[in-house]
Amino acid sequence: MYVRFLGVLAALSITAASASADVDRVTVKVGYSPGGGYDGYGRLVAEHIGRFLPDEPTTFVENVPGAGSLRLAKLMMTTEPVDGSVIAIVGSAVATTSLLRPDKSAIDPSEIKWIGAMANQPSFCFVAPGSGIADTDDFLAKPLKVGATGRTSQTFVFASLVKNLFNPDLEIVLGFSGGSEINLAIERGELDGRCGNSLSSLLSSGRYDVVNLVGQWATSVPEVSKDVRDFLSMIDGDVDRKAAKLVTGTLRVDYPFLMPAGTPDDVLATYRAAFDEMVQDQQFLSDAKKRGLLIDPTGGADVEAFLQELVDVDDATIERARELID
């Protein structure tokens, strides 16, 4: 595990910001329905972050699903209070939505106030054991049906990459409120499988060794999933590969937490410092391990810097990325 720290400035700012961020109640809003990976990380943080904030406020969790967490992201950019009483966890793809889907989002990524991200981990496509899909080659060759939430979610975006790069007969069914609902549809035989399922979610739910993993999108492949086919390595052509890396690059800072646009710098610094302290706390890490949630965090300033670098690409790459997730 590693943590990037903000340094002395962030450490000092927590004292200066106490008055600004001194609230007695903090709501952690989750952009997906209960039961999935985002909900798991949201509840984990809600149960611990109060210990690292001024006066240890009481914390609550509120699920605000919709459009692959874009609904909540828009609320955080427009109507939520900026006093430190609300933070949120949204899909990491929200960071590139305005670039890749300008028709779907008016969010200015420069206005997003990142607290930090919980993990750098792969995202998998899998099928049910009884789906008739034997392996990756089958998955990329046969007609099959997968589920997705909103068009900005990993469940849709990563499935679209598979469809447009490898298997035009892949059907993506939209409209689910979260990963748990997609998984239930798979169990009922209504879907063959899904994409956009994180390693943490698979491990914590016990599905990792049950489902048939047919491929992964990853910025780096961990030891535990080294035998699962890496889609990026299968792409022919530099343009397509660069475009796919742009789309999947947010996995590097997955499960990110943010504050409302307009949050004062001192309040943001308080939360960033609290996040950095929390993710190295042994009680927090032990609880995460019990829940099967991987912790490989990145501090808020580094999330911001990484995402600025990620989207600094040529127009041809952006245009091709838009085509691949359409």
State whether 143 and 78 are in the same domain: no
Co-location of 167 and 200 in the same domain: yes
Q: Which of 222, 248, 274 is the last residue of a domain?
A: 248
Instruction: Give the pLDDT mean for 98-120.
Output: 88
pLDDT recorded at residue 21: 63
306 and 160 both lie in a single domain = no
Q: Which residue, 213, 248, 283, sits at the end of a domain?
A: 248
Short-list 31, 25, 34, CA closest to 86: 25
139 and 217 together in one domain: yes
- What residues make up the domain containing 267? 8-120+250-324
Average pLDDT over residues 135-157: 93
> Each residue of 14-26: pLDDT tens digit?
333 333 567 999 9
Mean pLDDT to the nearest integer, 237-243: 96
Residue 3 lies in a domain: no
pLDDT at site 6 = 34
**How high is the pLDDT of residue 229?**
97
pLDDT at residue 298 greater than cutoff 70: yes
Residues 93 and 200 in one domain: no
Kindly state the tokens that stand for 300.
């808020």
pLDDT bin (cut points 50, 70, 90) of residue 65 is very high
For residue 151, what pLDDT is reported? Answer: 86
Ramachandran angles phi, psi of 102, nearest 5°: -60, -20
pTM: 0.85
Average pLDDT, the chain: 91
Higher pLDDT, 221 or 109: 221
Answer whether residue 233 shows pLDDT above 50: yes
Domain boundary, last residue among 200, 218, 248: 248
> Residue 1 falls within a domain, yes or no?
no
Tokens for 148? 């997705």
d(CA 210, CA 204): 12
Average pLDDT over residues 170-184: 93
The pLDDT value recorded for residue 9 is 33
Same domain, 149 and 258: no
Q: Does residue 254 share a domain with residue 116?
A: yes
Query: Do residues 133 and 223 share a domain?
Result: yes
